[in-house]
Chains A and B, each alone.
Chain A
């Protein structure tokens, strides 16, 4: 009708071929307030010629009105798109920007530096391959630099650029540069970054952003852009197990029942055996359906619809996985949390947990530890405040399938949703080390399918109930015995009443005391086969 099946010009074909070969790099800028994150991105866009004339004209107009650069262009105004951001000269929420060079396509997330808006920084970091951690050369590493580095590490970013900005204000001092690099190296050693590249730059003046600076002859490394164009972020190769979180059951007619979702890892072909979790039922893939036709394979990153050979029960939230290497199934999750709400998180709090395409009610059974920001070491804690990072154990209303975050971002990451406001209040990562350790300690381990059940601390209300149920039985016996001995109803009742009150208190105190003592507790493990939720999995 209106598509013009144009004569394919040679130029376009060549361009398309080159364009398709370009890889995509997602990166974020993070660091403290006023370290120059937005200015840096504005400068990158400007210098890589990704700005349109009307945008530059608008930028010059805005710079005169809101700018902090005395009339010359304030590049931060390019990304600070909200009125209150421009007013206050700060970044509140993450902004996404797009540009490309001849070698790569980039999606940049400019994230806020204010502690109050750290949750928005985490949103940008969760999908990034590379993090640019900005540091003001005059101020060095700050508390917020540490917090952001911890979150960057937590969310699994392995490539960091330590961008030491405002070098012009310290006269391009090599000593200052080395001092900051050494300090960062010292505290980040524990964070598991694979690659850290330190670059001295001035975002405001454009030194070492696109072109090398003549002002730092001692620096022989790449500019920021050339580093971003070449940094290798391909994950270590290796056949990852197939995972398809089921989003939608497609039933256009009684003869077609397909399971739609995005392949989060691995690949699948018709004829392959798969297992549906948490039910544990095994079946075979018969067809892979897409709008463009049937496919003979599907790989990670594709949205597909699978047809299975048996009439198995599969619904939204289930995971279809390779039969040989299925995910864990449990109603308990040990996880590291980034807590984002202003109210405190404490034991007994209840949430909705969303992982993959499934949502399940969850309760915090224990707050195990908090990560101290200065030392990055775990400390004892019983609650989390806003922007705290720490470890918790969650009990779910029923078993779900999941991987550890180290194995998969998609099936190992989750969010906690408040049950009243429905706000997203925490980002969680399933702790792989914990579940592996627990599974490994079990002699009954069966082809990696042992799930784990940690011993848990008893809650107060359980102790109260136990004390009462015990005393009711005991008191009936006491009253009966006293009546037999004294033949006096009033005396027997009085004896019984005194005993009920004193022993209730004593029993409760005794219970609470033992609830805190770990002596003699053993960790119970269970296999899929013994769990009614996952029968047939073993």
Chain B
């Protein structure tokens, strides 16, 4: 190794160090832990967004990331309440336990919860089983989200997406601009140096804001554990009736899931790493019934979190395309 040191502002580098001088290592407990820093950054992002935007909303999808996001919002504006409502885009195909959890949380915290379902999709009975995951996601999630944002005139929406989830998300800014048609243009992203987020936008444009951009799945679990954040029980392993389809374990959550000939729901000890529409979300076999068990399982995992999500695999680069169409 060749290394050289130079005094600040010095004009000439010193001679090369022939010994291959190794920089010294410091191992001490930092004043703030990694989680402390992530938390402070997320709170900073939320405060910036609220200060710079006229009418923000928090997309509340009831999953673990949403739970963390909500917890951070409570912290960011304490002792005031978060100065924005929660919005849940309900596809009508969420797990029943999710809906029960959603209503209970909103009631406990005394927050305004808006629930929107695409009325056209509802009238046409669009669903993942009859129409396939692509059409279902487009009509009941992407179109529904656009309807809700326009109906209430929201100019900024918080989301719990993380950069470690998926390749196109890894490319997205914290303040992500959408044009009047809610489209994301990956080639026209604004530079975002330091923590200087640009919240200005033209009429009709809106922002998606991702305070959890720099968190990983493991960080989320460690933080839920540290802060005792309530989450949907589906994340913990329990005996549940499932059927196996295309290599995925699908929970028989209600009578709407048609069973194929010869298919018989089996009781297996399963849990979910991620939650979406139940016919599109695969469970994993697990006995992790506590947070420490889940953290251990996350550490040892050999497959990625979104492995169990059918919608990411519809076509190559499918998440990027969905985002361009206005999906969160």
**A residues whose Cβ falls under 8 Å from a Cβ of B:** 1-9, 11-12, 15-16, 19-24, 52-55, 62, 65, 78-84, 86, 92-98, 105, 107, 119-120, 122-123, 126-127, 155, 181, 185, 189-190, 192-199, 219-222, 227, 230-232, 234, 247-248, 250-252, 256, 258, 260-262, 289-292, 299, 301-303, 305, 316, 340, 352, 354-355, 357, 409-410, 413-415, 417, 421-424, 427
Contacts and interface: CB of A to CB of B under 8 A. Distances in A.
The SS class assigned to the A binding surface is mixed
Nearest to B189: A93
Contacts of A9: 292-293, 296
B262 interface: no
B266 interface: no
A123 B191 contact: yes
Contacts of B81: 252
Given A194-B6, A252-B80, A427-B193, A98 B164 contact: yes
Given A195-B23, A303-B47, A422 B202 contact: yes
Contacts of A95: 167, 170-171
A355 B200 CA distance: 14
Contact of B194 (A80, A195, A230, A413): A413
Contacts of A5: 228
A219 B35 CA distance: 38
A463 to B, nearest CB: 34
A193 B9 CA distance: 9
B109 interface: no
A248 B80 CA distance: 12
A120 B189 contact: yes
Interface in B242-295: 289-293, 295
Contacts of A96: 163, 170, 213-214
B54 interface: no
A189 B13 CA distance: 6
B170 A81 contact: yes
21 contacts: A3-B229, A6-B293, A11-B296, A16-B222, A93-B171, A93-B186, A97-B163, A105-B34, A123-B192, A185-B4, A192-B6, A192-B10, A195-B4, A198-B2, A220-B1, A222-B1, A248-B77, A252-B80, A289-B79, A410-B195, A421-B202
A65 to B, nearest CB: 8
A250 B80 contact: yes
B313 to A, nearest CB: 9
Nearest to A340: B191
Interface in B20-54: 20, 22-27, 29-37, 39-41, 43-44, 47-48, 50-51
Size category of the B interface is: 35 or more
A299 B202 contact: no
Contacts of B40: 262, 301-303
B85 to A, nearest CB: 17
Contact of A299 (B32, B78, B201): B32
Interface in B175-217: 186-187, 189-196, 198, 200-202, 213-214, 216
B78 A305 contact: yes
B200 A303 contact: no
B79 A24 contact: no
Contacts of B301: 52
Most buried by A among B24, B191, B231, B233: B191
B23 A232 contact: yes
Contacts of A252: 79-81
Most buried by A among B31, B194, B216, B231: B194
B44 to A, nearest CB: 4
B123 interface: no
Contacts of B186: 82, 84, 92-93
Interface in B111-129: none
Interface stretch (B140-148, B152-160, B302-310): B302-310
B5 interface: yes
Contacts of A3: 228-231, 291
A247 B48 contact: yes
